[in-house]
A and B are shown apart, each in its own frame.
Chain A
């Protein structure tokens, strides 16, 4: 059996918002993101190929999806630690979900923790590109499932 997260997408988002509300300044938030980046599970080096690179980020980001028993598991990595932290947040929210959960999710935590405002447009686009890619994978797996 694939391990499913204990919380649903909104509960996880609320928890992330709670976690970030503890910090008084951005330096602490960055330190937290760096910590999160370090907790990201190791990424299979054989997946570090151009196919899994997400374009549009200042640093390199790899995202690898696995689809089993109706559940998508994401693994991801970045060569920059802050980006890894951001990636870790997205993995927390989106990994271990069904395609429907992902495509139907309303993602509000990014704005609520000030990530979007604190990243310049190009960087923010990187974040949006990662999210878009996760949703695209979900759509692709969903249609695969329906055509079985």
Chain B
């Protein structure tokens, strides 16, 4: 598969990539935290505020109509991008975290009782742990955890053993933000469905790395954030199967989510509006669609292939540095490498890499249970996007080598 643009053309689309930090060219390898935005997204947001700003679904006037149409067309773009069955199954939220919280609340209200069980995995981001813990606290329910192996692979046998007749929902990440592991979500969903249990898949770290097909996965909920897939921040998506979404109560009340309001009784609007209370981030949603279109035009499989080859270079390069240990060596990974150079503290390494112009994340990556599993206080994480280059990976490896020399 070939990208529709050369790497030079691609990098020119992202203005921030030509920036210098501390007098050196920026090497941005913190894409797992947030991705940079192409001109196509930046310009569109500017243009929207200049030419197409009015509240959606509210007015009969010209501008409101234009924005509403763009907003609904953005919904269709998202539907197509993840291959959902219906546009009504796409809810715009503030981000993956907001989406998970919405499900934990609405689903929890309707289906979770005292003594019921919820299954998550040991490699979840805090965003896919804490909302469920909060739910368990409200309902006196029990949180159960699927462990992972030393390589960072989910223990599916353990997962099957965790399911009981009290299990109400399984929430699992598609790809680990620390280990990079791509989980066999299709298999997990198939097994849970055998027991009639719905599954939420956290796609915050998978959506940007290739083709995601929610119909094929057959998950009941799928969530992701706009800013991790080259779109703006403050916008995200909750996909849910229509039947489930219809059954669930709304989690926020306000404008646009209602059909009729009186002080005697209020009735809910239909999907997707039932879950979009208040003025939504319509500019963000429209710009997110532009980001998804950008990826589609580059070729999503080609994007994934390029990232996989950069991941190989990074893994081999970092492994060649004396003392470097890599955390997460699963056979199927997204382009994320977590590592530690010998006994050097990730904070020390991160400070030196920063001075070399290299942006990586250091710390626990909002996944403290993963750190606990390995008995470490944090890692350095390089997360790679298609706009990164082999030279940038080489700069990282050289930087890490320099770090090991400095702290030797």
Q: Which residues of A contact B (CB under 8 A)?
A: 26-27, 30-31, 34, 58-60, 79-83, 123
B405 to chain A, nearest CB (A): 10
Instruction: Tell me which residues across on chain A come within 8 A of B347, comparing CB atoms.
Output: 58-59, 80, 82-83
Name the one of B345, B355, B377 contacting A26, with C-beta atoms under 8 angstroms: B355
Q: Which residues of B contact A (CB under 8 A)?
A: 22, 344-345, 347-348, 351-352, 355, 362-363, 377, 406-407
> A58-B363, A60-B377 given as contacts; is B406 within 8 A of A80 (CB)?
no
Docked Cα-Cα span, A112 to B344, in Å, equals 28
- Is A30 within 8 A of B355, CB to CB? yes
> A30-B406, A79-B377, A81-B407 given as contacts; is B355 within 8 A of A59 (CB)?
no
A48 to chain B, nearest CB (A): 14
- Nearest 3 A-B pairs (CB), nearest first? A80-B345, A80-B347, A59-B347
Instruction: Tell me which residues across on chain B come within 8 A of A123, comparing CB atoms.
Output: 351
B310 to chain A, nearest CB (A): 27
Instruction: Tell me which residues across on chain B come within 8 A of A30, comparing CB atoms.
Output: 351-352, 355, 406
CB-nearest residue of chain B to A79: B345
Docked Cα-Cα span, A59 to B351, in Å, equals 12
Docked Cα-Cα span, A84 to B345, in Å, equals 11
Q: From DSSP, what is the main secondary structure of chain A's interface residues?
A: helix
Docked Cα-Cα span, A83 to B346, in Å, equals 12
- Is A81 within 8 A of B362, CB to CB? no
- Is B362 within 8 A of A26, CB to CB? no
Instruction: Tell me which residues across on chain B come within 8 A of A31, comparing CB atoms.
Output: 406
Given A30-B355, A34-B407, 14 further pairs, Cβ under 8 A: A26-B22, A26-B355, A27-B352, A27-B355, A30-B406, A58-B347, A59-B345, A59-B348, A80-B345, A80-B347, A81-B344, A81-B407, A83-B345, A83-B348
A145 to chain B, nearest CB (A): 37
Q: Pull 21 A–B residue pairs with CB atoms less than 8 Å apart, ordered by A.
A: A26-B22, A26-B355, A27-B352, A27-B355, A31-B406, A58-B347, A58-B362, A58-B363, A59-B345, A59-B348, A60-B377, A79-B345, A80-B345, A81-B348, A81-B407, A82-B348, A82-B351, A83-B345, A83-B347, A83-B348, A123-B351
- Is B348 within 8 A of A80, CB to CB? yes
Docked Cα-Cα span, A80 to B380, in Å, equals 13
Instruction: Tell me which residues across on chain A come within 8 A of B344, comparing CB atoms.
Output: 81
CB-nearest residue of chain A to B362: A58
Instruction: Tell me which residues across on chain A come within 8 A of B406, comparing CB atoms.
Output: 30-31, 34
Instruction: Tell me which residues across on chain B come within 8 A of A26, comparing CB atoms.
Output: 22, 355
B26 to chain A, nearest CB (A): 15
Instruction: Tell me which residues across on chain B come within 8 A of A79, comparing CB atoms.
Output: 345, 377
CB-nearest residue of chain B to A27: B355
Docked Cα-Cα span, A59 to B349, in Å, equals 12
Docked Cα-Cα span, A79 to B378, in Å, equals 12
Instruction: Tell me which residues across on chain A come within 8 A of B352, comparing CB atoms.
Output: 27, 30
CB-nearest residue of chain A to B356: A27
Instruction: Tell me which residues across on chain A come within 8 A of B345, comparing CB atoms.
Output: 59, 79-81, 83
Instruction: Tell me which residues across on chain B come within 8 A of A81, comparing CB atoms.
Output: 344-345, 348, 407
CB-nearest residue of chain A to B352: A30
Docked Cα-Cα span, A80 to B345, in Å, equals 5
B250 to chain A, nearest CB (A): 36
Instruction: Tell me which residues across on chain B come within 8 A of A80, comparing CB atoms.
Output: 345, 347-348
CB-nearest residue of chain B to A120: B354
Question: Which of B345, B362, B377 is the most central at the interface, judged by chain A CB atoms within 10 Å of its CB?
Answer: B345
Instruction: Tell me which residues across on chain B come within 8 A of A27, comparing CB atoms.
Output: 352, 355
A28 to chain B, nearest CB (A): 11
CB-nearest residue of chain B to A81: B348
Docked Cα-Cα span, A135 to B363, in Å, equals 28
Docked Cα-Cα span, A26 to B22, in Å, equals 9
Instruction: Tell me which residues across on chain B come within 8 A of A34, comparing CB atoms.
Output: 348, 406-407
A32 to chain B, nearest CB (A): 11
Instruction: Tell me which residues across on chain B come within 8 A of A83, comparing CB atoms.
Output: 345, 347-348
Docked Cα-Cα span, A34 to B347, in Å, equals 13
